[in-house]
Amino acid sequence: MAKILITGGTGYIGSHTAVEIFNAGHQYIIVDNLSNSSIDVISGIEKITGVKPIFFNIDLKDKTLTEQFFNSHSDIDSVIHFAAYKAVGESVQEPLKYYENNLLSLINVLENIKLHKIKSIVFSSSCTVYGQPNKLPVTEQSPILKADSPYGNTKQISEEIIQDFIKSNNGNCKAVSLRYFNPVGAHESAEIGELPLGTPNNLVPFITQTAAGIRAELKIFGNDYNTPDGTAVRDYIHVVDIAKAHVAAINRLLNHHNKSDFEVFNLGTGKGNSVLEIVKTFEAVTGIKLNYRITERRPGDVEQIWANTDKANIELNWKTQTSIGESLLTAWIREKKYRRI
Ligand code: UD1
Q: What is the pLDDT of residue 9?
A: 98
**Continuous H helices in the chain:** 12-23, 40-49, 63-71, 88-93, 95-115, 150-168, 203-211, 239-254, 275-286, 310-315, 324-339
Domain count, the chain: 2
Name the pLDDT band for 247 (thresholds 50, 70, 90). Answer: very high
128: pLDDT strictly greater than 90: yes
Tell me the per-residue pLDDT of 212-234, one tens digit each, with 9 for 90 and over. Answer: 999 999 999 999 999 999 999 99
Q: How far apart are CA 41 and CA 9, in angstroms?
A: 9
262: pLDDT strictly greater than 80: yes
Is 151 catalytic? The answer is yes
Report whether residue 90 contacts ligand 1, using a CB cutoff of 6 Å.
no
Name the pLDDT band for 341 (thresholds 50, 70, 90). Answer: confident
Ligand 1, residues 144, 182, 237, 290: which to mutate, most atoms within 8 A of Cβ?
182
Name the pLDDT band for 195 (thresholds 50, 70, 90). Answer: confident
**How do 233-234 and 273-274 pair as beta strands?**
antiparallel
Output the CA 207–ligand 1 centroid distance in Å: 12
Q: Taking all residues of the chain, what is their mean pLDDT, rounded to a whole number?
A: 97
- Helix, strand, coil % over all residues of the chain, rounded to 5: 40, 20, 40
Output the CA 62–ligand 1 centroid distance in Å: 31
Q: How far apart are CA 102 and CA 219, in angstroms?
A: 30
196: pLDDT strictly greater than 80: no
Q: Are residues 221 and 112 in the same domain?
A: no
Q: Are residues 278 and 166 in the same domain?
A: no
List the CATH number of the domain containing 315.
3.90.25.10
Q: What is the pLDDT of residue 89?
A: 87
Please tell me the least confidently modeled range out of 123-127, 237-241, 300-304, 333-337: 300-304
Q: Are residues 173 and 207 in the same domain?
A: no
CA 129 to chain centre: 14
**Paired residues of 233 in beta bridges:** 274, 304
Active-site residue among 12, 85, 98, 151? Answer: 151
Name the pLDDT band for 14 (thresholds 50, 70, 90). Answer: very high
Report whether residue 126 contacts ligand 1, using a CB cutoff of 6 Å.
yes
Does any domain span residue 197? no
Report whether residue 187 contacts ligand 1, using a CB cutoff of 6 Å.
no
Q: Are residues 64 and 91 in the same domain?
A: yes
Does any domain span residue 192? no
Does any domain span residue 196? no
Q: What is the mean predicted confidence (pLDDT) over 154-173? A: 96
Does any domain span residue 274? yes
Q: Are residues 327 and 242 in the same domain?
A: no
Output the pTM of the full model: 0.97
Output the CA 201–ligand 1 centroid distance in Å: 7
Q: What is the mean predicted confidence (pLDDT) over 31-51? A: 97
Q: What is the pLDDT of residue 95?
A: 97
List the CATH number of the domain containing 21.
3.40.50.720
Q: Are residues 156 and 275 in the same domain?
A: no
Q: How far lies 6's CA from each of 122, 179, 210, 281, in Å?
A: 10, 17, 32, 33
Does any domain span residue 190? no
Report whether residue 91 contacts ligand 1, using a CB cutoff of 6 Å.
no
Q: Which of these, 170, 152, 142, 161, lies nearest to 84 by C-alpha position?
A: 152
Tell me the per-residue pLDDT of 89-119, one tens digit each, with 9 for 90 and over. Answer: 899 999 999 999 999 999 999 999 999 999 9
Report whether residue 330 contacts ligand 1, using a CB cutoff of 6 Å.
no
Ligand 1, residues 214, 275, 276, 304: which to mutate, most atoms within 8 A of Cβ?
275
Its domain, for residue 108, covers: 3-183+236-267
Q: Are residues 125 and 37 in the same domain?
A: yes
Q: How many other C-beta atoms can be found within 10 angstroms of the C-beta atom of residue 38?
A: 14
Does any domain span residue 189? no
Q: What is the mean predicted confidence (pLDDT) over 326-334? A: 98
Does any domain span residue 198? no
Ligand 1, residues 92, 128, 210: which to mutate, most atoms within 8 A of Cβ?
128
Determine what percent of the chain is predicted with pLDDT higher than 90.
94
Report whether residue 122 contacts ligand 1, using a CB cutoff of 6 Å.
no
Ligand 1 atom at minimal distance to the Cα of residue 207? 23
- The domain boundary residue, chosen from 267, 284, 312: 267
Does any domain span residue 191? no
Report whether residue 234 contacts ligand 1, using a CB cutoff of 6 Å.
yes
Q: How far lies 43's CA from each of 3, 19, 334, in Å?
A: 20, 12, 15
Report whether residue 77 contacts ligand 1, using a CB cutoff of 6 Å.
no
- The domain boundary residue, chosen from 219, 249, 267: 267
H helix or E strand, kind and range, residue 303: none
136: pLDDT strictly greater than 80: yes
